[in-house]
Amino acid sequence: MENLDERFEKYLGEFQPRRPRALPEPAIHRQVWPRCLAAAAAITIALGAWLWSVRQKPAGQEARNVTSNRPVVSEQQRPRRPLSIVVLTHLAVENPAGLDAALVAAQKNRLPRFDRKDSALRILGKE
């Protein structure tokens, strides 16, 4: 075992450290800057032309006052926004009766119905 260690040390002693060669300096291409500048100018001109065309009114089109014959939807028929946690918390602190009324109104529109013929809950309820 000693003989192997000595041979290994002798083998390692044959290697001599040497300095690594210097890294090559990157070549500075002076022709790249004009290309980048030209590309930036082209993008700027294209963006400016696009913005100009978007802001222009199309010829022959003027704003018209359009009325529709649709019936006006009452406040009760309009879909309400979903109640957020902040609104519900505010109602619970300030007006508990209002919270109950809001929850009752929300359950009519948002909870799944089981009394319809095509309801999946009705089918599951039969099992």
User: What digits encode the pLDDT tens for the residues 86-109?
Assistant: 888 888 888 888 888 888 887 776
Measured CA to CA, the distance from residue 97 to residue 12 in angstroms comes to 89
- Give the model's pLDDT for residue 55: 85
Rounded CA gap, 87 and 49, in Å?
46
pLDDT at 108: 72
Q: Could you report how far apart the first and last alpha carbons of the chain are, in Å?
A: 81
Tell me, what's the pLDDT at 47?
A: 96
Model confidence at 127, in pLDDT bands (50, 70, 90)? low
Q: Tell me, what's the pLDDT at 113?
A: 67
Query: Rounded to an integer, what distance in angstroms lies between the CA atom of residue 104 and that of residue 1?
Result: 89
Mean pLDDT on 44-72: 72
**In the chain, alpha helices (H):** 2-13, 32-55, 85-94, 96-110, 120-126
* Higher per-residue pLDDT: 112 or 70: 112
pLDDT of 54 reads: 86
- Quick check: 76 pLDDT over 70? no
What is the average pLDDT value for the chain, to the nearest integer? 77
Q: Hunting for tokens 């609104």 — which residue is that?
A: 87
- Top mean-pLDDT range of 18-32, 52-66, 73-87: 18-32
pTM: 0.28
